[in-house]
Each structure stands twice: as C-alpha cells, then as structure tokens.
Structure 1
Amino acid sequence: MRIKKWLLLSAACLAFSATPTVAEETREFSVSTVLSEAFPWGQAAAKWAELVEERSEGRITLKVYPNAQLVSGDQTREFSAMRSGLIDMAVGSTINWSTQVPEVNLFSLPFLMPDNAAVDAITQGEAGEMVFNAIDKRGVVPLAWGENGFREISNSRGVLSEPADLKGLKVRVVGSPLFLDTFNALGANPTQMSWTDALPALTTGAVDGQENPLAVFDVARADRADQKYLTLWHYMNDPLIFGVSKRVWSTLSKDDQSLLKQAAIDAGQWEIKKSRAELEDTLQAIRERGVEVTELTPEQHQAFVDATQKVYEKWTPRIGKKLVDTAQEAIKNR
C-alpha cells in the first residue's frame, strides 16, 4: 500500500512539474502625437516605443498614432481623450493641453524664456514639478519632458524687427486664447486655423504669416508658401510632455510603471539633445532656400517684451501667481 501511495505521489509531482509556466501577458497601448517621425516630436514618441519594447523584451508595445488621428485631427481634444481612457498615452504639447490644464499656459507667456537654459531651469526645477502636479490632478500621469522648441515668426510682407512691423499683419496661430491676446497686443491680426488649412492660406495670401518651431518651418517647406522673411524672436517655447492616462497607469505593475517612466525620461533627453543639435543645420538649410533670416538685437527683443506686458497682467492669475513667480525666479537664477 505504501509503495502504491508513493508511486501515485511521484506521478502527481511529475505531472505538476511538467505543466508549462503561463507566459507573462503582452500588452499594446496607443500613443498619440500631433506630428510624424519627420519631425522631432514624432521621433520622441518613436524612441519611447523603441525603448519600451526593448526593455520589456517585447512584452509591452507602444503603437504611435501621428497627426492627431485618434482625435480626428483635433489636437486640442487629446488631453481629454487620454483622461477619459480613449487614448492610452501621448507625447503632447503644452499648447494643446492648455485648455484643460491652465497651468501649462506658463510656457506660452510671451518672451518668458529667452534661451534653452531658461527652459531647462523651469522644466527641471520646482516650477516643472508644479506643472506636473497640475497635470496629475486632472487625470493624466506626466512622466517626462521633451521639446518642440522655440516658436519663431515668418511672413510674406517684409522684415519684422519691431512691434510696429506686426501692425495689421494676418498671422495664423494655434487655437489658444493666450496666443490671440499676445498678437493682439502687438497690433497683429491673429487668425486661428489648423496647420493643414494654414499652408494653402499662406500660399494664396489669405494669411500673411505664421509662427512655428524651425523644424516645422523646414520640414513643411513654409518657404514654398511665400514665407520669405523669418525672425528669430524666441517669443515662446513649447515643451513636450510624455503622459499616460491614469486609467491605464492604475492597471500597470510598479515595475512596468518604472519601466515606462524611465524609458520616457531617456527618450525625452535623447530628443531634446538631438533637436537642439540640429538647429544650426536646419537654419542654414532655410537660409539656402532664399529665406531672409533676422536675429533681434537685445534692444529690439526688449521692445517686444515691453509691448506684451499687459498679457502677463491678464494671464498670471489664471496660470497661478505662485507658479509664474517660481518660474521667473528660476530663470533669473539659471
């Protein structure tokens, strides 16, 4: 009897040990971006996806959907779609998220950040943490910073070197009330429209000018849309933010959360370094296509700063005085 029991027990143990281990679950997540891999913005998302797949050994896949296709081209709906769980993740623009998160309007305040060191002083310091906390409170987990770059202004009429040059200029701007206030303060005639609609409008002369990072001007060949005059005025910078819907975040293990976050940090740092390193070549390519490039003197730059001060009076309370003060202090001490 004892031998029989031993044989049965041995058989059971063998059967148990022969049972295959259940493979870890593989998951795919959607990632929204506004621009494709032809631009640094899209490259940031692609790098994030690459690092996540590599580090998870293929267990986690990020599928990137460029051109705001997950929100039918309406990029201002990206944040709310991610918050509700319709979009899993995004590499998004502070401009596009500003209607849902007033604090990110900080980066659209005119002439707040004169250079990259000022941008870094904000994003990598207390002010950046305050912005991330504001995003987190609204249903999206912010993981890391990327870069869309300083937005410069171009037009078809002539050189822009002082506020008076913008008087009556029809300028295409993104759908942000702060942008409208800034250009109205400068005497321009701002017109909100999508970039898809902007290029034909610029070509036909229905609109005189536009403002965008140099990489967008270059890849989109804005010079073909009669944009022959470009002014480097650094009037605002649009950092990118790697974010995850809280609904998705809560389903991830602590290890996978750490993996996604570190991959986002590394992808963001890679993209920031790459996009900054390419700026001189991009600017040279633009010049070689016959575009007249104007760089403002300190005195000319200050004239634009002075002309837009009333925008601060209106928007500082909306953004949060403490946040604006913290950012300005960080820039001062950079």
Structure 2
Amino acid sequence: MTPDSTRSSRRRVLKGAAGSASLLTLAGCVEDGGGNGGGNGNGGGNGNGGGNGNGGGNGNGGGNGNGGGSAELEFTIGGVMSPPGSGWEGAQPSGHWEFERRVEEQSDGRIQVENVAEGQICGELDCPESVRNQTVEIGSASIGNSSASFPMNDIWMIPYTFPSEISLAHTLTQAETYEQFWVPFAQEYGVIPLWYHAPALRAIHIGVDRADSTDFTHQVPGDVEGMDCRRTASQVSGIALNELGMNPVSLSWADALQGLRSGTVDGAEAAASPICAYGGNNAEALASSIINKWTIHNDTKWANVEWLKSLSDENLSLLADVSKSVYEDLVQMNMEEIHQQRLGMYTDDPPESSCTIEHDLEYNYLNEDQMQQWEDAIGYQDNLDLYSDIIDSAGQIGVDGEAFHEYLVDTAREDSVPSSHSDFTVDAWWDEYLSEM
C-alpha cells in the first residue's frame, strides 16, 4: 500500500473518474438512485469544504471541495448513498457525511474524506470487490448484497435468526463475532466492516396495483402466494420467496418501481428505511407493507484491511474512534428517532412528516399467530435444511457454519441484549482485531 502522505494523486484520479457511471444500486436492492448527492463543496482547498456534515445536501453531498493534495491522508468512500435520504437527518442515515465531518474536524483537516455518492464509483453489487482490489478504500453494500462476492455472508440473512433490530446491533459488536467470523473472513478476503447502518428488519411490500386488485389486507403467507416479488441479490431472498409460493424477480429498482405501479410486479422485499430514503419515489409505488421482520437489512461500510494496516497509529486510531462513535449514535437514535419519527413505524401517532403519512403507506403489523405463520414457513427453526448450502459456505473461510449460526441465534437472545436502543454501546470493534487479520 501507498503511505499516508502519497494518497492524493490517486484520489484525484478517482474523483475525476467518478462521473462516468450511471447504473446505481439501492442498499439491499439494485436501483438507479435518487437524491441530489452531487454536493457543491467550495473547491477552494480550505480544509473542510464548507459542508456542515449533517448529510442534508448543503455542501457535502459528493465531495468536500478541499482542493486535493494538501492533506496528510486522503481516501474515498464509494456507494449509492446520497443526501438527503441517506444524510444524517434522513430516513436511512448512512453516516457517510457525518463520518467525513467528524474525521476532518477531529484531525483539524489533516485527514480528508471524499464521498463519491450515487453509485458513481461503485454500487451495492460491486463495492465489496472494489474495496477488495483497492479501487476504493471504503465501499458501501448490504451484508445480503455482499454475498455476491462473499457467499458465506448470507448466513447472517437466514430468516428469523435475529428477533429484533437491537439484537442485530448487539451481535455484530461482540468479541466472539470478530473472533469466530470477521477475523477469518478478513484473512481470506482482505476486507472488514468499518461500521454499519442503524439496524433494520425487512418487510414484504405490496404494490399499488396489487392492493387495488385484491379485496383483503396482506398479512399472512397465504396472502402473497403467486405474487411476482422483486428480490435482492442474497441467495436467502430467492430461497425464502420461493418457499412462500412467490415468484422471485430480479429487476433494477427503477424497473421495479414502474412495475409496482403498473402491476407487472406485485411486491418487493426490503426494509422500510431504504424504501423511504430516496425522495419518496419508492414509497409512492407501494400501498402497504407486511411488517413480518423476516430477515435483516444491514448496510455495511467495507474497508480494505491492507490499507488500514498501512495507516499511522494516530490516523488509524482516529478512524476507529470515529467509525465506532458514528455507529453507536446510529443505533441509539434508531428506534425513537429513525423508526418512529422519520419512518412513522412502531407508533400509534406517526408525525405528519413521517414516511407513512407523507406517502400514504400503510404498515400492516402482525399479531403473534400471524407472525408465527411466517416463522413456520421460512424460519430457521423448522427449515434449516433450506439454507444448508449457505451454512456450508462458511467453510470457505474455515468457519463451522452450523456452529456459527447457532452462536448468532444464541447471542441475539442472550440477557445482555439491551432492552432499549438508547442504552446500546459497542462491546468490541474492528481495530482490536486488525493485527490478526
């Protein structure tokens, strides 16, 4: 790897090349984007580029305009995220621009971060490989979509492994999780999660045409049989939708949106946060969402291990501290702020500004019996054989897949899982294990 002091020339090349791509992929879904993400910066080379770091699109959407070449360390974050939807105040805050703001502020401009948004340098399906081959230092892709490059990551997606959003955040940040999975993963691929989005669980979303052509509320597995459902790249998605009697359809998100309106596609599986994050275009194509919490939605910021190891101790420590603080803040505001206030979920009185009110989206919450029908149909307890190939794929990194999945299930249900998101703190973080990777 190049030393800290010689990154600027490659960064300028990356920035110049970033405008050539137009195909974008949504977190968990292939799509062609939204938001304004271009950012105007100030181009004056004055350190922080004039953005206020809140991801709201006011000067930090896709480059901080720092002029290049004057910093000790410069690096690039690639992905499809763009403000305002994925800004710090958005429906799906990615932490990209908040990470940039905190790093540049705490380093007094010694470190400069270039956020290349809207899939201009890499998207959900190719960011992991771009990080692996050092085209970009940090790239964003959901754990499910990363399975296109790293098939064993689908073990995290096995339905109903995680009973709640907070149980996912808790499990991701345990020492045993790093020791059992991420260390051998990084040894094999040279890539490690730097931080994650606020944890979310996926739903089945019903298109406007499908809802208009049926006379019942979609709630249980029998209600979705025969539906053409837009799927994500995860193998688990295809397996589960097939098992539910649906027809999994692989489409770009733009085509899926049109199909949801016209009836050529009946539904889509995704979390509510990305559905609401991109200018409302996604939510407006939907009539309702079955909140069956069937698997995780967990966009991840992947970083190149060799690059991290090449950094000075001071710079490495700063990146570790900032990424950790960003993730803790995202989790702590996840329920009351993100889910209840911004998405309008899990509350009897959603704000007028929330996604569900603004876009007239109905969340269908399930009673215990209805939820059990989904778990019986696709959950790990009665259907682990459906996911045997995925579990076995962990052997590619020397991990006993069956034992590790049991660990995930047990850890997600242990007494130490916080009862409230606001009580969450990170127990273990990647920098503690970097020397082993």
Within 1, Cα distance between the matches of 2:283 and 2:93? 22
> Number of aligned pairs?
309
- The one-letter amino acid of 1:32's match is G
Within 1, Cα distance between the matches of 2:240 and 2:361? 25
Equivalent in the alignment of 1:181: 239
Equivalent in the alignment of 1:257: 316
Change (3 A) 1:33 1:269: farther
* Kept in 1: contact 2:93–2:198 (CA 8 A): no
Q: CA deviation at 1:61?
A: 1.0
| Structure 1 segment 86-97 matched on structure 2, within 5 A | 86-97=135-146
Equivalent in the alignment of 1:306: 376
| Structure 1 segment 69-218 matched on structure 2, within 5 A | 69-71=120-122, 74-126=123-175, 128-129=177-178, 130-137=180-187, 138-147=189-198, 149-156=200-207, 157-158=210-211, 159-218=217-276
- The one-letter amino acid of 2:393's match is R
Change (3 A) 1:134 1:155: farther
* Kept in 1: contact 2:205–2:269 (CA 8 A): yes
Within 2, Cα distance between the matches of 1:286 and 1:127? 37
Q: Return structure 1 stretches of 4+ with deviation > 6 angstroms.
A: none
Within 2, Cα distance between the matches of 1:247 and 1:30? 15
* Kept in 2: contact 1:160–1:166 (CA 8 A): yes
2:339 to 276, 279, 285: 279
- The one-letter amino acid of 1:244's match is A
Equivalent in the alignment of 1:332: 413
Q: Secondary structure at the match of 2:298?
A: strand
Change (3 A) 1:128 1:67: farther
Farther off after superposition, 123-132 or 323-332: 123-132
Q: CA deviation at 1:42?
A: 5.3
Runs of 5+ unmatched residues, structure 1: 1-22
TM-score, structure 2 as length reference: 0.66
Equivalent in the alignment of 2:327: 268
Q: Secondary structure at the match of 1:122?
A: helix
Q: CA deviation at 1:270?
A: 1.7
Equivalent in the alignment of 2:391: 316
TM-score, structure 1 as length reference: 0.84
* Cα RMSD, aligned residues only: 2.3
Q: CA deviation at 1:294?
A: 1.0
Q: Does 1:63 align with 2:111?
A: no
Within 1, Cα distance between the matches of 2:199 and 2:338? 13
Q: CA deviation at 1:217?
A: 2.1
* Kept in 2: contact 1:78–1:96 (CA 8 A): no
Runs of 5+ unmatched residues, structure 2: 1-68, 212-216, 345-349, 395-400, 416-437
Q: Secondary structure at the match of 1:51?
A: helix
* Kept in 1: contact 2:130–2:139 (CA 8 A): no
**Quick one: higher RCO (CA 8 Å, sep 6+), 1 or 2?**
1
Equivalent in the alignment of 1:35: 81
* Kept in 2: contact 1:136–1:142 (CA 8 A): no
Change (3 A) 1:180 1:52: same
Q: CA deviation at 1:111?
A: 1.8
Q: CA deviation at 1:84?
A: 0.5
Q: Secondary structure at the match of 1:31?
A: strand
Within 2, Cα distance between the matches of 1:108 and 1:127? 18
| Structure 1 segment 209-248 matched on structure 2, within 5 A | 209-220=267-278, 221=280, 222-225=282-285, 227-248=286-307
- The one-letter amino acid of 1:315's match is I
Within 2, Cα distance between the matches of 1:234 and 1:59? 43
* Kept in 1: contact 2:147–2:153 (CA 8 A): yes
- The one-letter amino acid of 2:142's match is S
Q: CA deviation at 1:148?
A: 5.2
